[in-house]
Amino acid sequence: MRVSDAPSLLGPDDPGIGHNKAPVSEIFMEVHKDLITEVEALAARANAAKDSLSDGKVANDNERDTWVSIGLASKKIAKQVCDRRDGVTGPIRDELNDWNRLFGVNANPHPESLHARCLRIKNAAESLAGAYADEQRRKAAAEAAAKAEAARQEAQRKLEEAAASESEIVADLALQEAEKAEHRAKHLEAQALGAGAGPVRTEAGTISERKSWDFRIVDVSKVDLNGPLRAHIGIDVIEKAIRAHVRANRDTVPLTGVEIFQGTKAQLR
């Protein structure tokens, strides 16, 4: 039965505000009272057996057999608990996977989910529109730079004209025009520098830039894990790597700072 078709533990109808129905946690305990009773009985049996030990240790075969029996019983009940849990959560998990496959999740959506498809379309739109906006900015900057260069050349010509003129009036006018041309050149240079900054507003929307730092691994063998990266590697990641190393190599390949040993643990069957 699908979860969406299954009756609610709270009842078929919404009880509404002010209802006196029990909380879901209490309903769960009532529904699965049989397992709770078994676990409580097992715990009482284990506590009684522990209290009867001398110095907390098994002293004879009878006490050993008692704990073997308790261990096997706990293993059996633990399997019943897991089976009951899987019977309840399995359909929920399957349906949740189906929902995530359709809608997608934020972190790593299924490639064919609605979320992932929208993200691909969004990324394509940003890439295409962004490339066009970048080209427009480049052209605007180049055009402003060309105008600035022309204005600076004009200022230089006016300075040369003023220097070559024998008339003070003509020279003064040429200097004034040279000063204006120089001022215009500086303005156009500033315009050229600012042409690539700021959002581009269009009738359909606004194109803005978001800068972020990223990386690519060029040679993984040269990445120094004991350098600045060490502060960002959690102990759980280190333990996972060590555990994988020990499973693969046992104690044949030692690790500095790590003691590799073979542990033993009793197993009841």
SS3 (DSSP) at 251: coil
Question: What pLDDT score does 14 carry?
Answer: 55
Please report which helix (H) or strand (E) contains residue 15, including its range: none
Residues whose CB is less than 8 angstroms from the CB of residue 29 and which lie 6 or more positions away in sequence, other chains included: 36
pTM summary value: 0.57
Domain ranges of the chain: 3-12+20-103, 114-206, 220-249
What's the CA gap between 235 and 157, in Å, rounded?
70
What's the CA gap between 143 and 150, in Å, rounded?
11
Q: At what angle do helices 168-194 and 114-164 cross, to 10 degrees?
A: 170
Per DSSP, helices labelled H in 104-234 are: 114-164, 168-194
Return the DSSP state at 207: E
Question: What pLDDT score does 147 carry?
Answer: 81
User: What are the CB-based long-range contacts (under 8 Å, 24+) for 38-45?
Assistant: 38/77, 38/80, 39/77, 39/81, 42/70, 42/73, 42/74, 42/77, 45/70, 45/73
What's the CA gap between 194 and 138, in Å, rounded?
11
Q: How far is CA 145 from CA 92, 138, 183, 242, in A?
A: 63, 10, 14, 59
Return the DSSP state at 13: S
Question: What pLDDT score does 59 carry?
Answer: 93
The pLDDT profile of the chain, 269 residues, written as one tens digit per residue, is 454 554 454 444 555 555 577 787 888 899 899 999 999 999 999 999 999 999 999 999 999 999 999 999 999 999 999 999 998 889 889 998 999 999 998 878 888 999 999 999 999 998 998 888 888 888 888 888 888 888 888 888 878 877 777 777 777 787 788 788 788 878 877 776 666 566 777 778 887 777 788 899 999 999 998 889 989 999 999 999 999 999 999 999 999 999 999 988 888 88
Question: What pLDDT score does 204 carry?
Answer: 82
* Cβ neighbours, 10 Å, residue 178: 19
SS3 (DSSP) at 153: helix
What's the CA gap between 74 and 129, in Å, rounded?
64
Is residue 188 within 8 Å of 148, Cβ to Cβ?
yes
Question: What pLDDT score does 11 carry?
Answer: 47
SS3 (DSSP) at 147: helix
Question: What pLDDT score does 203 carry?
Answer: 78
Question: What pLDDT score does 7 carry?
Answer: 46
What's the CA gap between 27 and 37, in Å, rounded?
15
| Opening angle at CA 239, ends 234 and 241, nearest 5 | 100
Token representation of residue 221: 């063998």
Residues whose CB is less than 8 angstroms from the CB of residue 35 and which lie 6 or more positions away in sequence, other chains included: 77, 80, 81, 84
Find the length of the chain: 269
